[in-house]
Structure 1
Amino acid sequence: MNRNADPLTLKLSLREKCAYGMGDFGSNLMLCIGTLYLLKFYTDELGMPAFYGGVIFLVAKFFTAFTDMLTGVLLDSRRNIGENGKFRPFILYASVPVALVATAQFMANDFSLTVKTAIATVLFMMFGLFYSLMNCSYGAMVPAITKNPDERAQLAAWRQGGATLGLLLCTVGFMPVQSLFNANPSQGYFFAALLFALCGLLCMWWCYNGVQERYVEVTPEHHKPSMIKSFCAIFRNPPLLVLCIANLCTLAAFNIKLAIQVYYTQYVLNDIHLLSWMGFFSMGCILIGVFLVPGAVKRFGKKQVYLGGLTLWATGDVLNFLWGSSSLMFVFFSCMAFFGTAFVNSLNWALVPDTVDYGEWKTGIRTEGSVYTGYTFSRKISAALAGFLPGIMLTQIGYVPNTLQSATTLLGLRQLIFLWPCGLAIIAALTMGFFYKLNEKRFAFIIEEISTRKNKSCQQSATNTENKASAVTL
Structure 2
Amino acid sequence: MTENLARKLKEDNNGSEQGKITTKEKVSYGFGDFGNGFMFDLGQSYLMHFYTDIAGISAAAAAGVFSITKIFDAFMDPLAGSIIDSRIPGKRGKFRPVMMLASILLAVMTVVTFTMPDLSMGGKIAWAYGTYMAWGLIYSFTNVPYGSLASVMTRNVGERSIMASTRQAGSIGAQLVTGVAFVPILMLFPSQKIGYPITAAIMALIGIIGFWICYKNTKEHIKSENVKGKEKQSAKDYFRVVFTNRPLWCLILMTLFTISAMNTNNAMMIYFCQYNLGHVGLQPIINFIQMGSSVAGITLIPFLVRRFGKKKTAMAGLLIGVLADGLNFIIPTNIYTFIVLVSIGYAALAISNGVTWAFVSDTIDYGHWHTGVRKEGVTYAAFNFSRKIAQSLAALVSAGVLAATGYVANAHQSAGTLLGIKGTMTLYPAVALLFAAIILGLLYNLSDDKFRSVANDLNNGRWENGRF
TM-score normalized with structure 2 length? 0.93
2:21 partner amino acid: L
Contact 1:41 1:106 in 2 (8 A): yes
**In structure 1, distance between residues paired with 2:181 and 2:117:** 24
Answer yes or no: is 1:427 the counterpart of 2:435: yes
Answer yes or no: is 1:188 the counterpart of 2:206: no
Contact 2:369 2:463 in 1 (8 A): no
Contact 1:28 1:166 in 2 (8 A): yes
In percent, how many aligned pairs have the same letter? 34
Please, which of 319, 332, 344 is the counterpart of residue 340 of structure 2?
A: 332
**In structure 1, distance between residues paired with 2:48 and 2:239:** 30
Contact 1:259 1:390 in 2 (8 A): yes
Answer yes or no: is 1:101 the counterpart of 2:109: yes
Deviations 1:257-313 (A, max 9, x none): 111111111111112111111111110111111110001000000000000000111
Q: Which has the larger radius of gyration?
A: 1
Answer yes or no: is 1:168 the counterpart of 2:141: no
For the residue of structure 1 that corresponds to 2:114, the secondary structure is coil
**In structure 2, distance between residues paired with 1:390 and 1:328:** 24
Q: CA deviation at 1:109?
A: 2.1
For the residue of structure 2 that corresponds to 1:107, the secondary structure is coil
Deviations 1:311-345 (A, max 9, x none): 11111101111225111111111111011012111
Please, which of 361, 364, 374 is the counterpart of residue 382 of structure 2?
A: 374
Q: CA deviation at 1:218?
A: 5.5
2:156 corresponding residue in structure 1: 148
Q: How many residues align?
A: 453
Q: CA deviation at 1:14?
A: 2.3
Answer yes or no: is 1:399 the counterpart of 2:401: no
Q: CA deviation at 1:222?
A: 3.5
Q: CA deviation at 1:11?
A: 5.3
**In structure 2, distance between residues paired with 1:236 and 1:155:** 26
Deviations 1:119-153 (A, max 9, x none): 11111111111111111100101111111111111
Change (3 A) 1:336 1:11: farther
2:72 corresponding residue in structure 1: 63
Structure 1 stretch 380-389 or stretch 300-309: which is displaced more?
Answer: 380-389
Q: CA deviation at 1:389?
A: 2.1
Structure 2 stretches lacking a partner, 5+ long: 1-12
Structure 1 stretches lacking a partner, 5+ long: 462-474
**In structure 2, distance between residues paired with 1:297 and 1:223:** 39
1:384 corresponding residue in structure 2: 392
Please, which of 91, 94, 97 is the counterpart of residue 86 of structure 1?
A: 94
Change (3 A) 1:243 1:456: closer
Change (3 A) 1:330 1:457: closer
Contact 2:14 2:456 in 1 (8 A): no
Structure 1 stretch 13-22 or stretch 188-197: which is displaced more?
Answer: 13-22
Structure 1 residues 225-240: aligned runs within 5 Å: 226=235, 230=238, 233-240=241-248
1:445 corresponding residue in structure 2: 453
Q: CA deviation at 1:216?
A: 2.5
Q: CA deviation at 1:455?
A: 10
**In structure 2, distance between residues paired with 1:22 and 1:197:** 14
**In structure 1, distance between residues paired with 2:457 and 2:387:** 31
Change (3 A) 1:83 1:399: same
Structure 1 residues 190-339: aligned runs within 5 Å: 190-217=197-224, 220-222=229-231, 224=233, 226=235, 230=238, 233-323=241-331, 325-339=333-347
Change (3 A) 1:69 1:230: farther
For the residue of structure 2 that corresponds to 1:325, the secondary structure is coil
Deviations 1:378-416 (A, max 9, x none): 111111111222112110011000111111111111111
